Each structure stands twice: as C-alpha cells, then as structure tokens.
Amino acid sequence: DAFWKIIRNEGIKSLWSGLPPTLVMAVPATVIYFTCYDQLTALLRSKLGENESHIPIVAGIVARFGAVTVISPLELIRTKMQSKKFSYNELHQYVSKRVSEDGWISLWRGWAPTVLRDVPFSAMYWYNYEVLKKWLCEKSGLYEPTFMINFTSGALSGSFAAVATLPFDVVKTQKQTQLWMYESHKISVPLHMSTWAIMKNIVVKNGFSGLFTGLIPRLVKIAPACAIMISTYEFGKAFFQEQNAQKQKY
C-alpha cells in the first residue's frame, strides 16, 4: 500500500529519493566499516586466540562507532531528501543555514540514536554471523564457507539485529524530522528531546508497537542488503587472497 501511494503521488522515481547521498554515504561507510572490522578482528585474534567468542562483538562495535560518526551528516541529508523533494541548491542553503545558526555540530543531529541503533546492530550481527557461518559449515561438512552459507548467515543475522534495534531507528528518524518541521514552521521552536524521552512519548501515543513502526520495510531492506553485502565481500576477499597467493608463488 505504501509503495502504491508513493508511486501515485510522487511518481516511481520518488522511490529512489535520497539515492545520491546514499551512494556517497555507502562507499566511505563500507570501506571504513569492513576494513576496521577485519583489521581489529585479526589483531584481537592474534592477542586473544582464534576461538575467543567475544572478538566479533568488540570489533563490530568499534568499527561501527567510527563509521557512524564519519557518515552521520550524510545520513541527515539523506533523510531530508527522502522526506521531500529538494534541489541541490535548496540542500546547500539548508546546510549553510543550519551551520550558521547552530554550528557544525547540528549536522550530527540524530547521531546518538543512530549509534544506539547501529552499534548494537553491529555487535549482534557479527556475533550471530560468525556463529551461524560456523554452524552451517559443520552441518555441511565444509572447512570453508561457500557463497550460499555466507549469504544465508548474513540474511539471518541481519534480520535478527534489525528487529532488535528498530526502536532506535524510529527515534533517529523522529529527531531528524523535527528539523524539517521547525524549518516549515509546523512547530514554533525546535524540540530537543532525549532519545529516551522520545521513546516514552512514542509508547504513550502509539503503544509499545509504535517503537516497531516500519518493521516490514526495514526487514525487506536489511535482510537482502546484509546477505548481498557480506557474501560478495567474502567472495571478493577470498578471490584477491587467492590472486595474491598465486603472485607470491611466482
């Protein structure tokens, strides 16, 4: 129903609103995130041993914290572009106005709930991914995971983490949309409510289920995204490791 309403009112192109900042955000975020995770995992395993179960959690938390901090302003811009059609000139004027009025820190509005969403997501995702991957390899009698094992492990672990952290995604969106409401004079002053205050307000107005608004679209997005990203990443990493190993032979 939501898809049809968006297409009918805004046109099919509006389903890709915010695509440019999403692409600009995705490249550095992915590079920072996966590189930090891999390097931290290798470092911790060299110090603590290969079988230490807490390594994926620690590496995932640190890597995601850094990536979120770097790309938070781009996520703010993406949310604005998805809420309404804006030209690049209008976006530039908006960003300039925010910086002049509230300083550069205003571009990190929504950072706290984003961290509360993404850091636990990352910890749960990597821990469950490693556990599921190991379990599926054992069930299949394989020493190394296949593309499908990585794909399945990524989809399942991503889905579980998405459900658990959805309330913080709802809060993050509300905090960022407060700026648009203030800009359009729908509210007289900007609201500066804490993450927990917003969550309580949502529960009072819409009940506990209000914290899980948009669950199905989030799962439809997160499950395949996590599956595709981790399986292609693992495939690419294995491919280039093999290429490097062959080069060293010669």
- Better-predicted residue by pLDDT, 154 or 241: 154
Tell me the average pLDDT of the chain: 81
Q: Do the Cβ atoms of 85 and 17 come closer than 8 Å?
A: yes
Output the pTM of the full model.
Answer: 0.72
- Tell me 51's DSSP state: T
Is residue 66 a contact partner of residue 155, using CB atoms and an 8 Å limit?
no
Structure tokens at 163: 């459900």
For residue 52, give the DSSP letter: -
| C-beta separation of 75 from 25 below 8 A | yes
Within 10 angstroms of residue 172's Cβ, the number of other Cβ atoms is: 26
Q: Is 58 exposed, middle or buried (0-12, 13-18, 19+ CB in 10 A)?
A: middle
pLDDT score at 189: 44
Most confidently modeled of 5-19, 115-129, 160-174? 115-129
CB proximity list for 212: less than 8 A, separation 6 or greater? 163, 166, 167, 170
Please give the angle made by the CA atoms of 95, 97 and 99, to the nearest 5 degrees: 70
